[in-house]
A and B are shown apart, each in its own frame.
Chain A
Amino acid sequence: MNVPADLRFTSSHEWVRLEGEIATVGISDHAQEELTDVVFVELPGIGRTVDAGDPTAVVESVKAASDIYAPISGEVVEANPAVEGDPSLVNSDPYGDGWIFKLRVKNTADVDGLLTPEQYIAQIG
């Protein structure tokens, strides 16, 4: 199971990479494996303000639609057009080209409240 050491996670299987005040968000390798075959990604509108826990994007497999929640509060500043065109990137490269959206976070300290890789491994183990 691929759980990169430099990321933070949520119990709902999103990952967060914080660079300055920008947080990149995607779904974990474990989540993409559970969903299998992502066939559609619905991206959030740029400029939308979200609170931690708000449904912000939707990732769909053949069988089901799954909400992707904002791990922390902030404003959507970017959404990945590549996954809209090729949803399978979420499967093939969940921590890289398969990222879903970027937030300008309200409070960078919020990231400290998310799961560490060790805690996330313990949850999915």
Chain B
Amino acid sequence: MPVQYTSIMDEHAAVRGKAGVFDISHMGQFLVSGEGATAWLNRMLTNDVAKLGHGQGQYSLMLNERGGVIDDLILYRTGDESFFVVVNASMIDEDFAWLSKHLPQGVELRDESDQWAGLAVQGPESAAAFATVCPGEPLPPRNGIAKTSGGCVVCRTGYTGEDGFEFFAPAAEGGAWLKKFVAAGVKPCGLGARDSLRLEMGYPLNGSDLSPERSPIEAGLGFFVALDKCDFTGRETLAKQKAEGTEAKLVGLRYTDKGAPPRAHYGVFSPAGEALGELTSGILSPSLGQGIGMAYLPAAWAKLGTEVTIDVRGRRFPAVVVKKPFYKPAPKA
């Protein structure tokens, strides 16, 4: 996937207003199945797999023993003891090695990443595009997964905050499907818009906003951590953090005025000039026309409404801690 096909602004606007398609073939797909698969995944991941019904998907995190994030992923239940797992491209090998190391007898883990092409079709008109390209095929409800009669997998999930779906086809068919969606009026979009869209929603990107040194509690992802289920890797650290609070928290920051676009690694300072941290992500939000970003700040500086500054090449731009998402998409159908 290139950074952009035509322009990040145009592609971003297409997804917010109509529909855009991202080639996400680089992402990883694992199949987990066999007696005990549910119980095992529940020990490997933060969210409660037992709550997942047939054909449903769930955002979850895989942690190291210190409670730091190895990867964030989406898990779909395709049977009583079978799951389709979509992981980040850069983490396929590491995730697979980690899971393999902990794999119990009787559970099978398969890396099918090379066998699947993936397209994320996103935007308010994506369901209509699906109906055009796959007439008669059912589009699953939000967060759901379904198989098409042609052997493709369609998941009603995404990374933009808009209605849409992720469509996985046998690798050799990827190009043909992309052409079909484009012919149905869906705009090809690149990595630039993918990043601006997810950041407006405050969705974290692993490797930028998530790391093996940060826990989901620090990252504000406690909603996806089920401390009350069985024991799971990293649980002890997370329970302690939940009870005692964390030293740092991932916050959303928004410029209070116009300014140079904030970007990852720019310094965050108190109004008096004390260094507080650095941006993990930052962008000039195409929808808001204002700088937005995320940073791990000391808890005392993480309260909503706290005023800070962001350093851009020596100039300090005032920003304020705000609630995520930065942008609210139109209600979904």
- Give chain A's interface residues, CB within 8 Å of chain B: 36-37, 39-40, 42, 58, 60-63, 65
Contact = CB atoms under 8 A, between A and B. Distances in A.
B261 A60 contact: yes
A63 B260 contact: no
A37 B261 contact: no
A33 to B, nearest CB: 10
B260 A37 contact: no
A71 to B, nearest CB: 21
Interface of B: 3-4, 6-9, 12, 192, 196, 259-261, 263, 283-284, 286, 313
A39 B313 contact: no
Contacts of A61: 8
Given A39-B261, A60-B260, A62-B196, 4 more contacts: A36-B4, A40-B259, A62-B261, A65-B260
B261 A40 contact: yes
Contacts of B196: 62
A69 B4 CA distance: 25
A62 B260 contact: no
Nearest to A33: B7
Nearest to B192: A63
A62 B313 contact: no
B299 to A, nearest CB: 31
Contacts of B192: 62-63
A63 B3 contact: yes
**Is the contact region of chain B dominated by helix, strand, or loop, or is it mixed?**
loop
B261 A36 contact: no
Contact of B8 (A42, A58, A62, A65): A62
Given A63-B8, A63-B192, A58 B286 contact: no
Nearest to A60: B261
A62 B9 contact: yes
A101 to B, nearest CB: 16
Contacts of B263: 65
A14 B298 CA distance: 43
Contact of A62 (B6, B259, B283): B283
A37 B313 CA distance: 21
Nearest to B260: A40
Contacts of B9: 36-37, 62
Nearest to A88: B9
Contacts of A60: 260-261, 284
Contacts of A62: 8-9, 12, 192, 196, 261, 283-284, 286
A40 B284 contact: yes
A42 B7 contact: no
Between B6, B12, B260, the greatest number of chain A beta carbons within 10 A of the residue's beta carbon is seen for: B260
Contacts of A39: 261, 284
